[in-house]
């Protein structure tokens, strides 16, 4: 059985990009330990054809658990099942995405198997048989580093999307699938009364190469329409600061910041956003930041690569026009 | 109903955070406040108390330096406090904190346990789920709305693409996310009253723990460092349409857009 596990969230017949990023890094760790990498997939129904990309991106094995108890997601069903599998197969490390599912399951599984856990890991380096993990703390002002020895104690980590290097797809890799079972899911204490999913046709905010964000300055529907139009021209995702979410202009799941999502695009265009510490802790991994704000004193201008002091209602239409011309 | 809220003290997020020569974050001289996520949980508990439905207790770990944070919760309206103070506890380790809180909670016998889903400083998001697992009670994390019933609660749990409404029976643990409740400012009366409210102080022995029971595999903590500031600050000058075309040209040449 493989030694490094990547819990790969299966939704709409596909996997998120961070699963592939984790598999790529896990391979390095597994190689140094003389072991292998497995992708772990849970659902009520799993189509084997959907699993092929996991192998192409580096999973030596894909371990599937298929059971009606696994839909809808509940903490107990998933954590109990993964705990049982971990106790059976004894992986040296288990990685999850630092998303709602990962943050829900990882601490419970870690507590069950007595493993240390580090969350929101942004960098993973293998030094011999040891693993160095780093993450940010204090609203993104401090970098913390930890050394772990998976050969001595199993470890668990949740990994930030877009932080680890991109995976390489190799279609010559063989696909190995193992179906497993567990005896008992245990009592499931969570009763799921409702599941509300708000989907968007746009690229996922945490995976997007380009993000347009709106803050207090967008002032409502007209501003939202402008940033959406800009995003359309760029093929970008749309996000918002806490202020825009609190005003109800942008849905909560698109919030960028400490209480929202972390993004790591090549380009982040922040419109009418003042640039609080909490917001920037979610946006600072952007390679390039363009800020549009009519307040020259706004904090965002201290961190923006290109600062445009202007009313976004004037600047964005000009920007859209210029981008269309360039295309 | 008894609600115990696990609270944490942290450095004010607006503060400039410094690291000493050993790679430890410097707390001395910093403004220490109640962790904002803990505060959302305190507020929600107080809303239940306002309806005449609850007795509330604020629970924290640390030394005397944490007392102002407990007093803040009491000034907001919490009925009493509880502090577990023991030098054997590693205050930076989520597992030790979870075990200590769980044992203190076993002594306090709450119907509902609340806390922040993560903290504003270290943001590990581990303690509430770990302590719930230790106590063998259900938990719901990243909670933005909570309906409290006599024997069960219904929590709105934020997901990556929306939310879910999850019901669990009491006793249970709920981890607060921003949006759950907007914290009240302590009134002057609240502040005066807080000085008279009881705060129980426990050590490990009082909660039935020996230092060896805190021993478990943990990561080796290496020196931390300040994150280098972004090199930014270029404000484009000139007529707007020229600025815009200059920026687009620069983005193209940087490869930020295709």
Give A200 to chain B, closest Cα distance, Å.
Answer: 9
Nearest CA in chain B to A111: B130
Q: A-contacting residues of B 50-109, CB under 8 Å?
A: 94-95, 98
* Chain A neighbors of B133, CB-CB under 8 A: 107-108, 111-112
Would you call B219 and A133 a contact, using CB atoms and an 8 Å cutoff? yes
Q: Provide the pLDDT for residue A73.
A: 96
pLDDT of residue A199: 86
Comparing CB atoms, the residue among A119, A140, A194 nearest residue B164 is A194
Residue A2 has pLDDT above 80, yes or no: no
Please answer yes or no on whether A190 and B138 come within 8 Å at the CB atom.
Answer: yes
What pLDDT does A33 receive?
87
Contact B13 A277 (CB under 8 A): yes
Per-residue pLDDT reduced to its tens digit, A29-61: 998 888 999 999 999 999 999 999 999 999 999
* B149 touches A at CB < 8 Å: no
Query: Closest partner residue to A141 among B226, B250, B255, by Cβ?
Result: B226
Looking at the complex, does the CB of residue B248 fall below 8 Å from at least one CB of chain A?
A: yes
- Over residues A234-263, mean pLDDT: 96
Mutation choice for B interface testing from A110, A143, A144 by most B CBs within 10 A: A144
Buried b (16+ CB within 10 A) or exposed e, A179-204: eeebeebeeebbeeeeeeeeeeebbb
The region, left, alpha or beta by phi > 0 then psi within -120 to 50, assigned to residue B126 is alpha
| Residue B162 touches partner A, C-beta closer than 8 Å | yes
Residue A1, pLDDT > 70, answer no
Question: Which of A110, A140, A267 lies nearest to residue B256, judging by beta carbons?
Answer: A267
How much is the average pLDDT of B149-166?
97
Counting one residue from A and one from B, how many pairs have CB atoms under 8 Å apart?
A: 228
Question: Nearest chain A Cα to B132, which residue?
Answer: A108
Average pLDDT of chain A to the nearest whole number: 95
CATH number of B2-214: 3.40.50.620
What is the per-residue pLDDT for A162? Answer: 93
| Overall average pLDDT of the A72-94 stretch | 97
- Residues of A in Cβ contact (< 8 Å) with B168: 189-191
For the segment A7-35, what is each residue's pLDDT rounded down to a tens digit?
Answer: 999 988 999 999 999 999 999 899 888 89
Rounded Cα gap, residues A274 and A298, in angstroms = 5
Task: Answer yes or no: do B13 and A323 touch at CB < 8 A.
Answer: no
Share of chain A above pLDDT 70, in %: 99
Q: Does B196 touch chain A (CB under 8 A)?
A: no
| pTM of the predicted structure, to 2 decimals | 0.95
Q: Is B156 exposed, middle or buried (0-12, 13-18, 19+ CB in 10 A)?
A: buried
CA distance A195 to chain B (A): 4
Residue in chain A lying closest to B226 (CA):
A142
pLDDT in tens, A283-303: 999 999 999 999 999 999 999
Contact status of B187 with chain A (Cβ, < 8 Å): no
For residue range B169-183, what is the model confidence (pLDDT) as tens digits?
999 999 999 999 999
Q: Do B178 and A242 touch (CB under 8 A)?
A: yes
**The pLDDT value given to residue A166:** 86
How does pLDDT run across A88-143, given as a tens digit for each residue?
A: 999 999 999 999 999 999 999 999 999 999 999 999 999 888 899 999 999 999 99
Note the pLDDT of residue B231. Answer: 84
At residue A326, the pLDDT reads 86
SS3 for chain A is CCCEEEECCEECCEECHHHHHHHHHHHHHHHHHCCCEEEEEEECCCCHHHHHHHHHCCCCEEEEEECHHHCCCCHHHHHHHHHHHHHHHCCCEEEEECCHHHHHHHHHHHHHHCCCEEEEEEEEEEECCEEEEEEEECCCCEEEEEEECCCCCCEEEEECCCCCCCCCCCCCCCCCEEEECCCCCCCCCCEEEEEEECCCCCCCCCCCCEEEEECHHHCCHHHHHHHHHHHHHHCCEEEECHHHHHCCCCCHHHEECCCCECCCCCEEEEECCCCCHHHHHHHCCCCEEEEEECCCCCCHHHHCCEEEECCHHHHHHHHHHHHHHHC
Q: Which two tokens stand for residue B90?
A: 């590693």
Structural domains in chain A, sorted by start: 4-180 (3.40.50.620), 205-326 (3.40.50.1220)
**A150-161: per-residue pLDDT in tens?**
988 899 999 999
For A13-33, letters b (16+ CB in 10 Å) and e give eebbbbbbbbbbbbbbbbebb
- The sign one gets for the Cα dihedral A245, A243, B113, B205 is positive
| Interchain CB contact of B257 with A (< 8 Å) | yes
Beta bridge partners of A131: A126, A148
ipTM over 0.90: yes
- Inter-chain CB proximity B256 and A194 less than 8 Å: no
A contacts of B179 (beta carbons < 8 Å): 252, 259
Q: Chain A contacts of B222, Cβ < 8 Å?
A: 132, 145-147
CA distance A214 to chain B (A): 18
pLDDT at A237: 97
Query: CB distance B133–A107 less than 8 Å?
Result: yes
Query: Which of A139, A210, A267 lies nearest to residue B120, judging by beta carbons?
Result: A139
pLDDT confidence band for B206 (50 / 70 / 90): very high
Give the residue from B93, B125, B168 with the most A CB atoms within 10 Å of its CB, the best one to mutate.
B125
């Amino acid at each position: 059985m493989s030694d490094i596990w990547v819990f790969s969230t299966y939704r709409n017949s596909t996997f998120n990009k961070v699963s592939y990023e984790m598999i790529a890094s896990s391979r390095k760790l597994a190689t140094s330990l003389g072991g292998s990498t497995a992708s772990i997939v849970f659902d009520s129904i799993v189509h084997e054809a959907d699993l092929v990309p996991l192998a192409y991106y580096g999973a030596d094995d894909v371990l599937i658990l298929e059971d009606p108890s696994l839909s809808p997601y509940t903490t107990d069903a998933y954590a109990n099942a993964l705990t049982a599998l971990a106790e059976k197969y004894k992986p040296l490390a288990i990685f999850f995405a630092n998303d709602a599912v990962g943050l829900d399951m990882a601490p419970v599984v870690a507590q069950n198997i007595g493993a240390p856990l580090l969350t929101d890991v942004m960098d993973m380096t293998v030094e011999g048989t040891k693993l160095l993990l780093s993450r940010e703390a204090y609203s993104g002002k401090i970098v913390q580093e930890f050394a772990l020895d998976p050969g001595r104690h199993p470890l668990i980590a949740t990994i930030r999307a877009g932080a680890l290097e991109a995976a390489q797809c190799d279609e010559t890799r063989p696909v190995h699938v193992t179906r497993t079972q567990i005896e008992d899911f245990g009592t499931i204490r969570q009763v799921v009364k409702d599941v509300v999913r708000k989907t968007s046709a746009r690229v996922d905010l945490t995976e997007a190469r380009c993000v347009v964000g709106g803050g207090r300055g967008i002032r409502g529907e007209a501003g939202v329409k402008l940033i959406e139009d800009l995003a359309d021209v760029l093929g970008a995702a749309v996000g918002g600061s806490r202020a825009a979410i609190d005003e109800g202009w942008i849905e909560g799941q698109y919030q960028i910041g400490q209480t929202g999502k972390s993004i790591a695009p090549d380009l982040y265009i922040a419109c009418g956003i003042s640039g609080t510490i909490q917001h920037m802790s979610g946006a600072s991994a952007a390679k390039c930041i363009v800020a549009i704000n009519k307040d020259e004193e706004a904090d965002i201008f201290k961190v923006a690569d290109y600062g445009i002091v202007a009313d976004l209602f004037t600047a964005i239409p000009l920007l859209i026009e210029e981008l269309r011309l360039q295309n | 109903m008894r609600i115990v809220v696990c609270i944490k003290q942290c450095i004010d997020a607006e503060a400039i955070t410094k690291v000493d020569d050993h790679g430890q974050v410097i707390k001395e001289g910093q403004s220490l406040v109640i962790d904002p996520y803990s505060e959302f949980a305190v507020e929600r508990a107080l809303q239940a108390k306002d309806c005449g439905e609850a007795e509330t207790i604020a629970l924290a770990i640390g030394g005397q330096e944490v007392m102002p944070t407990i007093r803040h919760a009491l000034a907001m309206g919490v009925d009493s406090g509880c502090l577990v103070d023991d030098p054997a506890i590693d205050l930076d380790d989520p597992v030790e904190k979870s075990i200590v809180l769980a044992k203190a909670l076993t002594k306090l016998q709450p119907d509902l346990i609340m806390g922040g889903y993560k903290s504003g400083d270290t943001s590990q998001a581990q303690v509430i789920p770990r302590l719930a697992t230790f106590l063998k009670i259900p938990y719901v994390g990243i909670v933005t709305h909570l309906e409290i019933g006599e024997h069960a609660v219904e929590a709105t749990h934020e997901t990556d693409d929306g939310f879910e409404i999850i019901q669990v029976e009491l006793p249970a643990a709920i981890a607060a996310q921003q949006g759950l409740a907007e914290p009240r400012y302590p009134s002057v009366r609240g502040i005066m009253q807080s000085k008279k409210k009881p705060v129980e102080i426990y050590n490990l022995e009082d909660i039935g723990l020996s230092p060896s029971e805190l021993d478990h595999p943990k990561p080796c903590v290496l020196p931390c460092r300040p994150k280098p500031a972004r090199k930014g600050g270029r404000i484009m000058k000139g007529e707007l349409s020229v600025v815009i075309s200059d920026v687009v040209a620069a983005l193209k040449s940087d490869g930020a857009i295709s």
